[in-house]
Amino acid sequence: MTDFAAHEELIARFDAYYESAGSVPLRALEQRAFGCDYGGNSYTDIEGARVLLDLLGLDESCTLLDVGTGAGWPGLFLAKESGCQAILTDVAAAGLQFARARAIDEGIRAEAVNAIGTDIPFRVSSFDAVTHSDVLC
Amino acid sequence: MVFTVIGTVDGEASPPIGTFDTFMAPAADYFAMVQNAGFEDVRQSDVTGAFMATAVRWLEAAAELDNDLRSVLGDAVMDEKLASRRDTFAALEAGEICRLLISATA
């Protein structure tokens, strides 16, 4: 399989999962596994996200980039808790749609950008803080 | 910048494990990578314990909610998700992988 085909297959697999991101069963699973239901698909739980919040030193004047956010975790939580502006990026559009809808519903300052982590479409020094959970391998 | 990463323990890259479809790099590589990229005040802590706890909770919850999850995800997606999470847990239990929390300033 070519690299492009493999990449497209990976995106399709993520989309298939994230299309159900807001469903009752998935939110129940996340609550039990992570202690919250922001569409988490990594291994960061709520306590881990609080550690990120402390280390990143965010406040309402900051702009945060969350790479590989999936359906908005932990970027939505970090934005909600700190008041910062979050830019949520991922290769899978389905999760981003959920994240953006939730941000609007809850008044969270977050925008979603469909992008791969190796080619983020922003100028250098656009962000005060960057985070990613279990994206590199 | 603050991020978590899962990598191999033994200093060697591994074939794909669980959720990860590419070769998994040694966890020890990331600290140097961040330093070499020009970041300062690079710090690292091992969060494998929390990783294990989360992995266990996820598998237990997935088992309890299996029917409901399959009703929304379908069997194919659910089977793949379970297989990847179980593979990751097995590698974790075997001490083959760990999870690190790395922070740095630009």
**Tokens 């990783």 — which residue?**
B51
Domains of chain A, start order = 3-132 (3.40.50.150)
- Classify domain B2-105 by CATH number: 3.40.50.150
Q: What are the structural domain ranges in chain B?
A: 2-105
Full DSSP string of chain A:
--HHHHHHHHHHHHHHHHTTTTSHHHHHHHHHHHSS-S---SS--HHHHHHHHHHHT--TT-EEEEET-TTTTTHHHHHHHH--EEEEEES-HHHHHHHHHHHHHHT--EEEEE--TTS--S-TT--SEEEEES---
pLDDT in tens, A26-68: 999 999 999 998 878 889 999 999 999 999 999 999 999 999 9
- Nearest C-alpha neighbor of B79 from the set B67, B70, B88, B92: B70
**% of residues, chain A, pLDDT over 90:** 71
Which residue of B3, B55, B71 is in closest CB contact with A132? B3
CA distance B49 to chain A (A): 11
User: Is pTM beyond 0.95 here?
Assistant: no
Chain B residue at shortest CA distance from A65? B1
The complex scores an ipTM of 0.90
pLDDT in tens, B54-85: 999 999 999 999 999 999 999 998 998 899 89
